[in-house]
Structure 1
């Protein structure tokens, strides 16, 4: 993979529209960026294609994909759907000193940190555009959620940005989104929208939210490829405990950079599914072995797999991501108790 531009935007006048400029991002060993003003209006470039780690497939790739036609698992690969782990339980009782995660399915987590309840890429819908209906129910009923204090979005693909779910939220819910995606939320009358570039941060009631790079891309319609940015989120409590939400990503150099810049990650929420065929998806989706390598590059103490067992997005058998991530974790000699391979609906509390 080829490293691409890491340019960031800077502004001159907080809380107003700003002129886009480019600057060198802070050194890995330098101080973290000061939090940006919440709700700041900013001007972004028309395209973020320069941030791609690898080129998107061209006509030859689409032609090969059409010839091979391997988009979904066959009957044998789908036979294990009834065995997918699903064990919903009540959300943990959390106070300001609790850091807990609950997996609602796919990339949707309920993160309780610093007294806040944060949703990641919330998708509570049964079906999303272009994909069969979910094969496991949502693990956390919407009615069981406490007040949602914030939402973080990794990118604009339909399995991560779900309009029907977001319509359930009060419009004054703070949302933290990639550069260029704020307009989508403001059109839907959200009033507290903060857009960030890579390596930038915001703060909410003592919890720091840093937007970090990912090996992925963005697209939501025929004419908006890479018009908005993509990435992951680092959530840091006031006591220094850190939860990293990778969003959707392939494997590559960014994990080591993130780990160096944010040492002491307590838990990494990493994607392990939607990886087959590999020639088509390796640049943008981790397979289970990639995810374990990424956890090591990050220096994360624990890893919780996600982005599998909810929607059928690619050709691998539905249970294969789980068996492979367990084998890769063991092969790496990592402590079994630090792999939080949760059933959909289950929770864990950081010690």
Structure 2
């Protein structure tokens, strides 16, 4: 099965699995400030592809809606027009429209692609009441690769759980950046070294890191990723599309 990815920017990527087009965490706003509670998240890099240029989307895979670096203002407009939005129960309730909960370890089918909801934890153990619920996804299709989309997950233990239950994983789309904010004295997403370790756990032959730069609360950048994967002997697994670029992952 031909599988491609187009990197839009931040956590936003367009995955095409045999003609089924799935968009992750829509973020299309230009650089600027995004207030959230008593904090302000600052976006430094705008999208490489605008909403009107994305084309047909069969479903949105929304890890969570409560943080503007995963769903911003223009992203909210986009999901309002999407035929299907899959995510957490809270996202479905808050967004309404075509947003639906995809419960943990349960699946729906879009075209020929089976989409399974998997856990994600947006910070250390016990942080869920502060960061909110987050969803990851595993995608599979007949004669196609198995794809893991992590969402904002900071737990390698959860990665192991997914590998144990739904492995083997062929392609891992991992959210990184080692995000940190004044919300708590802890990291909220994987760092580059942890992404490499996640690739080892999953035994994924292709790893696509996204959400690795572009925001002020990130403590790492896109440039940190290749060195970390080289350190673990995984440089040949790394695929890092330039913003806007479409890359063929499998034929």
- Which TM-score band (shorter chain)? 0.7 to 0.9
1:164 aligns with 2:74: yes
- Contact 1:198-1:212 within 8 A present in 2 as well: yes
Take 2:51 and 2:82, find their aligned partners in 1: how far apart are those partners? 18
- Contact 2:91-2:99 within 8 A present in 1 as well: no
Take 1:321 and 1:176, find their aligned partners in 2: how far apart are those partners? 28
- Contact 2:79-2:85 within 8 A present in 1 as well: no
Take 1:329 and 1:169, find their aligned partners in 2: how far apart are those partners? 34
Q: 1:323 to 1:170 in 2, by over 3 A?
A: closer
- Contact 1:178-1:230 within 8 A present in 2 as well: yes
Q: 1:183 to 1:228 in 2, by over 3 A?
A: farther
- The structure whose Rg is larger is 1
* Matched residue SS, 1:259: helix
Which residue of the partner structure matches residue 349 of structure 1?
A: 248
1:328 to 228, 233, 241: 228
Take 2:50 and 2:5, find their aligned partners in 1: how far apart are those partners? 15
Which residue of the partner structure matches residue 195 of structure 1?
A: 101
> Shift in Å at residue 169 of structure 1?
4.9
Q: 1:181 to 1:154 in 2, by over 3 A?
A: same
1:31-50 aligned within 5 A: none
> Shift in Å at residue 330 of structure 1?
1.2
Which residue of the partner structure matches residue 100 of structure 1?
A: 4
Which residue of the partner structure matches residue 280 of structure 1?
A: 185
> Shift in Å at residue 121 of structure 1?
0.4
1:300 to 186, 192, 204: 204
> Shift in Å at residue 276 of structure 1?
5.4
> Shift in Å at residue 131 of structure 1?
2.1
> Shift in Å at residue 289 of structure 1?
0.5
> Shift in Å at residue 281 of structure 1?
2.7
Q: How many residues are matched?
A: 237
- Structure with the bigger percentage of strand: 2
Take 2:59 and 2:215, find their aligned partners in 1: how far apart are those partners? 24
1:207 aligns with 2:113: yes
* Matched residue SS, 2:16: strand
Which residue of the partner structure matches residue 175 of structure 1?
A: 85
1:137 aligns with 2:46: yes
1:290 aligns with 2:194: yes
Q: 1:323 to 1:145 in 2, by over 3 A?
A: closer
> Shift in Å at residue 211 of structure 1?
0.9
Q: 1:169 to 1:290 in 2, by over 3 A?
A: closer
Q: 1:170 to 1:185 in 2, by over 3 A?
A: closer
Q: 1:102 to 1:167 in 2, by over 3 A?
A: same
* Matched residue SS, 2:200: helix
1:43-82 aligned within 5 A: none
Take 1:175 and 1:115, find their aligned partners in 2: how far apart are those partners? 18
> Shift in Å at residue 252 of structure 1?
2.6
Take 2:162 and 2:15, find their aligned partners in 1: how far apart are those partners? 20
1:205-284 aligned within 5 A: 205-216=111-122, 225=129, 229-275=133-179, 280-282=185-187, 284=188
RMSD of aligned Cα (Å):
2.4
> Shift in Å at residue 107 of structure 1?
0.6
> Shift in Å at residue 226 of structure 1?
6.0
Which residue of the partner structure matches residue 184 of structure 1?
A: 94
